[in-house]
Amino acid sequence: MRPGNRRQPRLELGVILLLSEMFNVGFGTIPRVTLFTIIGQVLLYLGMINVPWSKWDVCISAETVLQTKDYRRFIFSTFEHGDDMHLYYNMVSFIIKGRTLENKYGSSNFALLLAFLVVITNSFYIALAKFGSEFLEDYSMMRSCAIGFSGVLFALKVITTA
């Protein structure tokens, strides 16, 4: 980890709002894989899970994956968030989708679905950046770096409404 990138655990507004929403919904009504995934991402954001990287060390970009072969970004970038409100909006959306789909498919199948979607959405991100940079002759698309659970959430939205 680069100096100065240490996470400082603190409760920010987005985390407080998320906890409030989870209490309103009821922890007992949130299925276990959904709940575990949310808790894991909150603890990671707060710095309570000690990892040897900063969020920007694992953001996903086509350049870092294709040229430097840094494949850890396929997974880790998905669970990092830029700020507390990014985390809040993603996790509130995930509560809704997770409750619906995990109850429909069961916890084991839902966990497998999440794992598949993490890989496939990041693969699409890389492929689109590569295609876009070549088609539009704009290499900056290869360097664009992303973090967050949004790709998985969009995929879950498609599955939820199908």
**139 three-class SS:** coil
- Residue 7: pLDDT band (50, 70, 90) is low
Q: Domain segments of the chain: what residues?
A: 13-161
| Mean pLDDT of the 118-138 span | 96
Two structure tokens written together for 107: 């916890």
Is pTM beyond 0.95? Reply is no
pLDDT tens per residue across span 44-93: 999 999 999 999 999 999 999 999 999 999 999 999 999 999 999 999 99
Helix (H) or strand (E) holding 101: helix 84-105
Q: Which option is the CATH number for 13-161: 1.20.1540, 3.10.50, 3.10.590, 3.10.450?
A: 1.20.1540
Rg over alpha carbons for the chain, rounded to the nearest Å, is 16
CB–CB of 149/86 below 8 Å?
no
Q: Which of 151, 134, 126, 10 is nearest to 63 (CA)?
A: 126
> Which percentage of the chain shows pLDDT scores above 90?
92
